[in-house]
Amino acid sequence: MTELEACDSCVLNNSAQLLKLGINVENADYVIALAGNPNTGKSTVFNALTGLKQHTGNWPGKTVIRAEGGYRYQDHKMKLIDLPGTYSLLSTSQDEEIARNFILFGKPDVTIIVVDAARIERNLNLVLQILEITDRAVLCLNLMDEALRHHIDIDERTLSKELGIPVIKCSAIKKQGISELISTVHQVATRQIICKPHRIKGLPKSAQKMVDKLDKKIRKNYPGLPNSRWVAIRLLDADADIIKALKNGDF
Amino acid sequence: MKNKDTQDLLDLASELRWEVGENFHDTLVEGIYTDAAQIAQKTEIKIGEPNPYSFERKLDRVLTSKKYGFPIMILILSIILWLTIQGANYPSGLLASFFLEFLHPILKTGAFQLGLPWWLDGFLIDGVYLALGWVISVMLPPMAIFFPMFTLLEDFGYLPRVAFNLDSLFKKSGAHGKQALTMSMGWGCNAAGVVATRIIDSPRERLIAIITNNFSLCNGRWPTQILIATIFIGALVPDGFSSIVASIAVIGIALLGVGFTFLSSWILSKTLLKGEVSTFALELPPYRPPNLWTTLYTSLIDRTLIVLWRAMVFAGPAGAIIWLISNIYVSDLSLANITIDWIDDFGLFFGLNGVILLAYVVAIPANEIVIPTILMLTVARLNLMGAGDGVMFELESTTETATLLHAGGWTLLTGINLMFFSLLHNPCSTTIYTIYQETKSWKWTTFASIMPVILGFLVTFLVTQIWQLFH
């Protein structure tokens, strides 16, 4: 991290090309969603990118409404949406619905998934669910300083390989790793990086067969749908919202 | 054609749903967990010491222990309130003497020299300006001390521990454990607390959390509690103990609010909102050393100044209204006095008075202006504020606020009942609007708005009856 610190304070760094736009988000070229578990510092990342002062707090459930902000990087205007922090996308509380619906129907160009580096296993549950919905994501391994203080480090290369998306180590509160995050998000948005997201493998064979059967049917009906498998899983789980959305033709 | 395809798809889905069995949801969750665990195992590197978080665990064991959890909670709240009460008095007096004693006569003289008509001068300077001056001097100092301390505690990560301690009590009341979090959020602002109930999945438990959020003393009400407790309760004991006793009184009211939250949650879950309690996992986030300067900055900007600004936005017009109703006369009596006389008996019946009731009507837009409104109405009622010929009275400190209120016929009973009524009355208009936004139901919005007022009158009535037994 010490090298990063030195780089981050250098004017020649990527950050120099960053222009924080605050709430001025009209005519954005790309829409970026910010998702993650509660209390992983999403709002801090949001503030670091946009220059806004969205209130942050050390307790789950701080952001329940979505906040918007923007920044400009290399001639592209990015609109950033801070989604409510959730542990999963499978239940029906309003905050989860807001987060899920935005990633599913809002189709952001990139989803930044903020995770707490010291609690990676629990955070991965949400990451894996998000990666079922979208294939364009960047993992922001936040709170790295805290994790190291607690004697935990993360092998980010292996993690990146496993998840099939770029992984950036950050400590948003100290502005560490933010410039790398910005350029990676830009590369994913402009398709210089193509993600191959991890898909849930842990299902038993019998269930997997059902999912595949339904998935095939969905792909026939909706060619080009990136998350057909996830829709199949949700249908098997009798997700009333997804059934309604299908009937309304939201896909 | 599309419709038929969709129907086919849904049919296939329900067919397969039978085959896959009803445990699919659990299978799915298990599948995700297995994957997550495998990836975590491959990527997590433990350095050196085998037991991270050992200090945090020890701290948690104390802060959330059955034995010490509650006493520590109350102790921390007491210390914050005591510091607020101790620290706010002097700057309050300083601000009051600047705005009311120093600047006010200058403005009056200036207006006189400009040749402003008496009514315009009275409306602007004795109405709008005085209300603003009062709001700033009464509210700014306690807020500037209370909010930063509260935010430091929040950033440190203490609030989820409070929620953890209260969790089992909420479950026993038939409510969701996460209501402990939305309740704590209500201690800042009830409107925010109501929005925060979105973290609760079940509509039944969410409604309970929304309806009972008003029992959390909010930003706008802490200063009222602190001031009245200082004047009426702190004054009962020798000077050295007065701030401690006053803090205990305020904590008593805050805890009473928690008590009412449990009680009304329990009654609601047994009557109007029957149902099962859902279970959930409450995560205790890591302790984080608060970033002192950022916290001070954000709590001053986000909380103190925004609340103060809101109070000023509402206080200006309220001041104007107060001045108008104090200066429009119908056969020798001002409108304010007519109204106050008319409702005074009703108020006294509940151990309050007409001024307080009228103040609560004027202050529906914002709880913050209750005290300034009460002060202005009392002044107007005592005819200290002569029309046109300038206002010559001072409000240097809480002692003089006390003198003014005593002159208005206030007793210890009035003070105690005002504290109860400040806890138990309708939510401010912003919160009412938010409740409607969140529930989309006029029925529940009306219920949530009226239920606390009825409770308030009930409690003040009972207190008055008991008081009269002993006097």
Partner-chain residue, chosen from B20, B28, B154, that has the shortest CB–CB distance to A57 = B154
Residue B302 — pLDDT band, cuts 50, 70, 90? low
Token pair for A249:
């033709």
B142 pLDDT higher than 90: no
A64 pLDDT higher than 60: no
B394 pLDDT higher than 50: no
Those of residues 275-304 in B touching chain A at CB distance below 8 A are 281, 283, 285-286, 288, 290-291, 298, 301-302
Residue A23 — pLDDT band, cuts 50, 70, 90? low
Cβ pairs A/B, distance under 8 A:
183
**Percentage of chain B exceeding pLDDT 70:** 93
**Chain B interface includes A57 (CB < 8 A):** yes
Q: In the prediction, which pLDDT does B397 show?
A: 59
- Contact: B160, A60; criterion CB under 8 Å: yes
Average pLDDT over residues A122-131: 93
Average pLDDT over residues A4-24: 60
B384 pLDDT higher than 70: no
- Contact: A162, B42; criterion CB under 8 Å: yes
DSSP letter for A17, please: G
Angle, CA B60 vertex, CA A140 and CA B171 arms, to 5°: 95
Q: State pLDDT tens for residues B242-253.
A: 888 988 999 999
B389 pLDDT higher than 50: no
Q: In the prediction, which pLDDT does B369 show?
A: 79
- Contact: B39, A202; criterion CB under 8 Å: no
Q: Which residue of B has its CA nearest to A167?
A: B43
Residue B89: which residues within 8 A CB-CB, separation 6 or more? B141, B230, B397, B398
**Chain A interface includes B201 (CB < 8 A):** yes
Q: In the prediction, which pLDDT does B426 show?
A: 92
- Strands of the sheet containing A137-142, edge to edge, are A18-22, A67-73, A76-82, A30-36, A110-116, A137-142, A167-169
Q: State pLDDT tens for residues B255-268.
A: 999 999 999 999 99
A175 pLDDT higher than 90: no
CA distance B224 to B338: 26
Average pLDDT over residues B383-397: 45
B19 vs A contacts (CB less than 8 Å): 210
Residue B464 — pLDDT band, cuts 50, 70, 90? very high
B31 pLDDT higher than 50: yes
Q: In the prediction, which pLDDT does A63 show?
A: 54
- Contact: A203, B301; criterion CB under 8 Å: no
User: Which one is predicted more confidently, B267 or A203?
Assistant: B267
Residue A13 — pLDDT band, cuts 50, 70, 90? low
**ipTM score of complex:** 0.85
B388 pLDDT higher than 50: no
Residue A110 pairs in a beta bridge with A32
* Average pLDDT score over chain A: 83
Q: In the prediction, which pLDDT does A122 show?
A: 87
A164 pLDDT higher than 90: yes
Those of residues 142-171 in B touching chain A at CB distance below 8 A are 151, 154-157, 159-160
- Contact: A247, B6; criterion CB under 8 Å: yes
* HEC profile of chain B: CHHHHHHHHHHHHHHHHHHHCCCHHHHHHHHHHHHHHHHHHHHEEECCCCCCCHHHHHHHHHHCCCCCHHHHHHHHHHHHHHHHHHHHHHHHHHHHHHHHHHHHHHHHHHHHHHCCCHHHHHHHHHHHHHHHHHHHHHHHHHHHHHHHHHHHHHHHCCHHHHHHHHHHHHHHCCCCCCHHHHHHHHCCCHHHHHHHHHHCCCHHHHHHHHHHHHHCCCCCCHHHHHHHHHHHHHHHCCHHHHHHHHHHHHHHHHHHHHHHHHHHHHHHHHCCCCCCCCCCCCCCCCCCCCCHHHHHHHHHHHHHHHHHHHHHHHHHHHHHHHHHHHHCEECCEEHHHHHHHHHHHHHHHCCCCHHHHHHHHHCCCCHHHHHHHHHHHHHHHCCCCCCCCCCCCCCCCHHHHHHHHHHCCCCHHHHHHHHHHHHCCCCCHHHHHHHHHHHCCHHHHHHHHHHHHHHHHHHHHHHHHHHHHHC
User: Which one is predicted more confidently, A58 or B102?
Assistant: B102
Give the best-scoring range by mean pLDDT among A76-80, B234-238, B454-458. Answer: B454-458
A182 pLDDT higher than 90: yes
Q: In the prediction, which pLDDT does A150 show?
A: 82
Residue A21 — pLDDT band, cuts 50, 70, 90? confident
B53 pLDDT higher than 70: no
Nearest chain A Cα distance for residue B161, angstroms:
10
Average pLDDT over residues B41-66: 80
Residue B449 — pLDDT band, cuts 50, 70, 90? very high
**Chain B interface includes A216 (CB < 8 A):** no
**Percentage of chain A exceeding pLDDT 90:** 30
Residue B381 — pLDDT band, cuts 50, 70, 90? confident
A18 pLDDT higher than 80: no
Residue B211 — pLDDT band, cuts 50, 70, 90? very high
Q: In the prediction, which pLDDT does B120 show?
A: 87
Average pLDDT over residues B24-31: 85
**Chain B interface includes A61 (CB < 8 A):** yes
Name the CA radius of gyration of chain A, rounded: 18
Average pLDDT over residues A139-165: 92
**Chain A interface includes B26 (CB < 8 A):** no
Average pLDDT over residues B147-157: 79
Q: In the prediction, which pLDDT does A24 show?
A: 64
- Return the minimum-mean-pLDDT range out of A58-67, A207-216, B354-363: A58-67
A10 pLDDT higher than 60: no
Partner-chain residue, chosen from B30, B46, B195, that has the shortest CB–CB distance to A152 = B46
Token pair for A228:
């057909």
- Contact: A91, B201; criterion CB under 8 Å: yes
* pTM more than 0.80: no
B458 pLDDT higher than 80: yes
Q: In the prediction, which pLDDT does A36 show?
A: 92
Phi, psi of A146 (to 5 degrees): -65, -40
User: Which one is predicted more confidently, A15 or B466?
Assistant: B466
* Average pLDDT score over chain B: 83
Q: State pLDDT tens for residues B406-419.
A: 888 899 999 999 99
Residue B303 — pLDDT band, cuts 50, 70, 90? low
CA distance B72 to B60: 12
B432 pLDDT higher than 60: yes
Q: Is A53 helix (H, G, I), strand (E, B) or coil?
A: coil
Partner-chain residue, chosen from A59, A150, A214, that has the shortest CB–CB distance to B12 = A214
B188 pLDDT higher than 70: yes
